[in-house]
Chain A
Amino acid sequence: MTVPREMPEKWPRVRGPGGAEEERRVRANAREYNEKFQYASNCIKTSKYNIVTFLPVNLFEQFQEVANTYFLFLLILQLIPQISSLSWFTTIVPLVLVLTITAVKDATDDYFRHKSDNQVNNRQSQVLIGGVLRQEQWMNVRVGDIIKLENNQFVAADLLLLCSSEPHGLCYVETAELDGETNMKVRQATPVTSELADISTLARFDGEVICEPPNNKLDKFGGTLYWKENKFPLSNQNMLLRGCVLRNTEWCFGLVVFAGPDTKLMQNSGRTKFKRTSIDRLMNTLVLWIFGFLVCMGVILAIGNAIWEHEVGVCFQIYLPWDEGVHSAVFSGFLSFWSYIIILNTVVPISLYVSVEVIRLGHSYFINWDKKMYCAKRRTPAEARTTTLNEELGQVEYIFSDKTGTLTQNIMVFSKCSVNGHSYGDVQDVLGHNVELGERPEPVDFSFNPLADPGFQFWDPSLLEAVQLGDPHVHEFFRLLSLCHTVMSEEKSEGELYYKAQSPDEGALVTAARNFGFVFRSRTPKTITVHELGRAITYQLLAILDFNNIRKRMSVIVRSPEGKIRLYCKGADTILLERLHPSNQDLTNVTTDHLNEYAGEGLRTLVLACKDLEESYYEDWAERLRRASGAPEAREDRLARLYDEVERDMTLLGATAIEDKLQQGVPETIAILTLANIKIWVLTGDKQAPGSPCAETAVNIGYSCKMLTDDMTEVFVVTGHTVLEVREELRKAREKMMDGSRSMGNGFSYQEKLSSSKLTSVLEAIAGEYALVINGHSLAHALEADMEVEFLETACACKAVICCRVTPLQKAQVVELVKKYKKAVTLAIGDGANDVSMIKTAHIGVGISGQEGIQAVLASDYSFSQFKFLQRLLLVHGRWSYLRMCKFLCYFFYKNFAFTMVHFWFGFFCGFSAQTVYDQYFITLYNIVYTSLPVLAMGVFDQDVPEQRSMEYPKLYEPGQLNLLFNKREFFICIAQGIYTSVLMFFIPYGVFADATRDDGAQLADYQSFAVTVATSLVIVVSVQIGLDTGFWTAINHFFIWGSLAAYFAILFAMHSDGLFQMFPNQFRFVGNAQNTLAQPTVWLTIALTTVVCIMPVVAFRFLKLDLKPELSDTVRYTQLVRKKQKPQHRCARRGGCGGGSRRSGYAFSHQEGFGELIMSGKNMRLSSLALSGFTARPGAAWIETLRRKKGGESSPDTAAKG
Chain B
Amino acid sequence: MKNKKSSAPQEAETRPSRCPDNSAFKQQKLPAWKPQLTAASVLSTFFLTGAFCLSVGVSLIVAAKSVREIQVDYSDKCSHCSKLRENSSNWNSECLCSINITLAEDMLGDVFMYYGLQNFYQNHRRYALSRSDEQLLGRNVDVQNSYCAPFATYQNGTPMAPCGAIANSMFNDTIDLFYNFNSSVIQVPLLKTGNSWWTDKNVKFRNPESHNLSAAFAGTARPPYWHKAVYLLDEEDEKNNGYINDDFIIWMRVSAFATFRNLYRRISRKGQFTDGLPAGNYTFHISYNFPVSKFKGKKYVILSTMVWSGGSNPFLGIAYLGASQWIVQLVFILRSQW
- Which residues on A are within 8 Å of B, measured CB to CB? 85, 151-152, 247, 312, 315-316, 318-321, 323-324, 339, 365-366, 368-372, 374, 376, 379-381, 498, 852, 880, 909-911, 913-916, 941, 943, 947, 988, 990-1011, 1030-1037, 1058, 1061-1062, 1065-1066, 1069, 1071-1073, 1075-1076, 1080-1082, 1085-1086, 1088-1089, 1092-1093, 1096-1097, 1099-1100, 1102-1104, 1106-1108, 1117-1118
**In the complex, per-residue mask of B170-207: 1 if CB is within 8 Å of any chain A CB, else 0:** 00000000000000000000000001111110011000
Contact A318 B88 (CB under 8 A): yes
B46 contact from A247, A371, A1096, Cβ within 8 A = A1096
Q: Contact at A1089–B315, with CB atoms within 8 Å?
A: no
Given contacts A991-B315, A1069-B133, contact A380 B255 (CB under 8 A): no
Given contacts A318-B291, A994-B315, A1089-B323, contact A1004 B310 (CB under 8 A): yes
Report the Cα distance A990→B319, complex, angstroms. Answer: 12
Tell me which residues across on chain A come within 8 A of B295, comparing CB atoms. Answer: 312, 315-316, 318-319
A992 surroundings in chain B (CB, below 8 A): 313, 315-316, 319
Q: Shortest beta-carbon distance, B330 to chain A, in Å?
A: 5
**CB-nearest residue of chain A relative to B2?**
A498
B316 close to A1085 (CB less than 8 A): yes
Binding site for A on B (CB under 8 A): 1-4, 11-12, 15, 17-22, 26-28, 30-39, 42, 45-46, 49, 53, 56, 60, 88, 110, 112, 114, 119-128, 130, 132-134, 136-137, 139, 146, 149-150, 165, 168-169, 195-200, 203-204, 250, 253-263, 266, 291, 294-296, 304, 306-313, 315-316, 319-320, 323, 326-327, 330, 333-334, 337-338
Question: In the complex, which residue of chain A has the Cβ closest to the Cβ of B169?
Answer: A319
Closest chain-A Cβ to B214's Cβ sits at a distance in Å of 24
CB <8 Å contact, A1103 and B42: yes
Residues B126 and A913 in contact, CB atoms below 8 Å apart: yes
B200 touches A1089 (CB 8 A): no
Q: A381-B18, A913-B126, A1099-B42 in contact; A1001/B311 too (CB < 8 A)?
A: yes
Q: Whole-angstrom distance from the CB of A375 to the nearest CB of chain B?
A: 10
Point out the residue from A1009, A1032, A1035 that lies within 8 Å of B256, measured CB to CB: A1009
Give the shortest distance, in Å, between B244 (CB) and chain A (any CB): 14
Expressed in whole angstroms, the Cα–Cα distance for A941 and B27 within the complex equals 11
For residue B263, which residues in chain A have a CB less than 8 angstroms away from its CB? 997, 1001-1003
| In contact, A997 and B311 (Cβ under 8 angstroms) | yes
CB pair A318 B256 closer than 8 Å: no
Question: Judging by beta carbons under 8 Å apart, are B53 and A318 in contact?
Answer: no
In the complex, what distance in Å separates the CA atom of A765 from the CA atom of B321? Answer: 55
Q: Say whether B27 contacts A1001, CB under 8 Å.
A: no
The answer to whether B125 and A369 have CB atoms under 8 Å apart is: no
- CA of A1061 to CA of B134, assembled, Å: 9
- Pick the contact of A1103: B28, B294, B296, B334 (CB < 8 A): B334
Known: A1001-B112, A1009-B256, A1065-B139. A1096 touches B49 (CB 8 A): yes
In the complex, what distance in Å separates the CA atom of A420 from the CA atom of B327? 85
Return the contact of A999 from the options B17, B46, B310, B312 (Cβ within 8 A).
B310
Chain B residues within 8 Å of A151, by CB: 3
In the complex, what residues of B have CB within 8 A of residue A993's CB? 256-257
With A318-B291, A1002-B196 as known contacts, state yes or no: A997 contacts B253, CB within 8 Å: no
Among A323, A1007, A1037, A1107, contact of B254 (Cβ-Cβ < 8 Å): A1007
Contacts of B320 in A (CB 8 A): 1085, 1089
What would 19 A/B residue contacts be, using CB atoms closer than 8 Å? A319-B168, A370-B20, A371-B21, A374-B20, A911-B121, A994-B257, A994-B259, A997-B263, A1001-B311, A1003-B250, A1007-B253, A1030-B35, A1031-B34, A1033-B34, A1089-B53, A1092-B327, A1099-B37, A1100-B334, A1117-B36
**A315-B294, A1007-B128, A1034-B31 are known contacts. Are A1081 and B19 too (CB-CB below 8 A)?**
no
With A371-B19, A910-B121, A1035-B30 known as contacts, the answer to whether A319 contacts B309 (CB < 8 A) is no
Q: Contact at B330–A1096, with CB atoms within 8 Å? A: yes
CB distance from B251 to the nearest CB of A (A): 10
In the assembled complex, the Cα of A1008 lies from the Cα of B131 at a distance in Å of: 15
Residue of A with least CB distance to B329? A1100
Q: Cβ of A1085: which chain B residues have Cβ within 8 Å of it? A: 56, 60, 309, 316, 320
On chain B, the residues within 8 Å of A380 by CB distance are 18
Residue of chain A at shortest CB distance from B196: A1002
Distance (Å) between the CB of B292 and the closest chain A CB?
10
Question: Which one of A914, A988, A1082 has the greatest number of beta carbons of chain B within 10 Å?
Answer: A1082
A1073, B197: Cα distance in complex, Å: 9
Cα–Cα, bound, A852→B124 (Å): 71
- Contact (A379, B253) CB under 8 Å given A941-B30, A996-B311, A1066-B132: no
Select one of B1, B32, B326 contacting A1034, CB under 8 A.
B32
Query: Taking the nearest CB of chain A, how far is it from the CB of B148, in angstroms?
Result: 11
Q: Which residues of B contact A1006 (CB under 8 A)?
A: 253-256, 260
Q: Is there contact, CB below 8 Å, between A1031 and B306? A: no
Contact, CB under 8 Å: A1065 / B137:
yes
Task: Tell me whether A999 and B309 are in contact (CB under 8 A).
Answer: yes
Q: Given A880-B28, A1085-B320, output 13 extra A-B contacts at Cβ < 8 Å.
A: A324-B149, A498-B1, A910-B258, A913-B126, A915-B125, A991-B316, A997-B112, A999-B306, A1007-B253, A1033-B34, A1085-B316, A1093-B326, A1104-B333
Minimum distance in angstroms from A334 CB to a CB of chain B: 15
Q: Which residues of B contact A1007 (CB under 8 A)?
A: 122-123, 128, 253-256
Residues A1061 and B257 in contact, CB atoms below 8 Å apart: no
B300 to chain A, nearest CB (A): 10
> Given the complex, which residues of B lie within 8 Å of A1011, measured CB to CB?
256
Which residues from chain B contact A911 at a C-beta distance below 8 Å? 121, 123-124, 258
Contact of B32 among A85, A995, A1032, A1108 (CB under 8 A): A1032
Q: Is the CB of B310 within 8 A of A1082?
A: yes
B165 and A320 contacting across the interface, CB-CB below 8 Å: yes
When A997-B306, A1089-B319 are in contact, do A1076 and B256 touch as well, CB less than 8 Å? Answer: no
- Whether A1082 and B316, one on each chain, are in contact in the complex, defined by CB atoms closer than 8 angstroms, is yes
Q: Which are the 4 A-B pairs with shortest beta-carbon distances?
A: A1072-B199, A1010-B256, A369-B26, A913-B125
Of A992, A1007, A1073, most buried by chain B (CB within 10 Å of CB) is A1007
Residues of B within 8 A of A1002 (CB): 195-197, 250, 263
CB-CB under 8 A from B32, the residues of chain A are 941, 943, 1032-1034, 1037
**Given that A1006-B256, A1007-B254 are contacting pairs, would A1072 and B19 also be in contact in the complex, using a CB cutoff of 8 Å?**
no
CB distance from B299 to the nearest CB of A (A): 14
| Chain B residues closer than 8 Å to A1061, beta-carbon distance | 133, 203-204
* Cβ–Cβ < 8 Å partners of A1086 in chain B: 316
Once bound together, how far apart are the Cα atoms of A1161 and B272, in whole Å? 134
Chain A residue at minimal CB-CB distance from B197: A1076
Do B313 and A1104 touch (CB < 8 A)? no
Per the bound structure, the CA–CA distance linking A1010 and B253 in Å amounts to 12
User: Could you say which residues of chain A place their CB within 8 Å of the CB of B121?
Assistant: 312, 316, 320, 910-911, 913
Taking a contact as CB atoms under 8 Å apart, the answer to whether B330 and A1100 are in contact is yes
Closest A residue, CB atoms, query B5 = A455
Shortest distance between the CB of A1125 and any CB in chain B (Å): 19
Query: Could you tell me the distance between the alpha carbons of A1075 and B203 in the complex, rounded to whole angstroms?
Result: 13
Write the nearest CB–CB distance from B130 to chain A, whole angstroms. 8
In the docked arrangement, what's the CA distance between A365 and B296, Å? Answer: 65
Are B256 and A1005 interface neighbours, CB within 8 A?
A: yes
Complexed CA–CA distance, A320 and B147 (Å): 13
Nearest chain B CB to A482's CB is how many angstroms away?
Answer: 20
Question: Would you give the shortest CB distance from A684 to chain B, in whole angstroms?
Answer: 23
Among B33, B136, B199, contact of A1033 (Cβ-Cβ < 8 Å): B33
- Asked whether, in the complex, the Cβ of A1100 is within 8 Å of the Cβ of B333, the reply is yes
CB <8 Å contact, A1096 and B306:
no
Min CB gap B118→A, angstroms:
11
Cross-chain contact of A1065 among B26, B112, B134, B257 (Cβ < 8 A):
B134
**List of A residues within 8 angstroms of B196 by Cβ:** 1002
Q: How far is the CB of B313 from chain A (nearest CB, A)?
A: 5
With A312-B295, A316-B295, A909-B123 known as contacts, the answer to whether A1003 contacts B253 (CB < 8 A) is: yes
Q: Which residue of B lies closest to A1106 (CB)?
A: B37
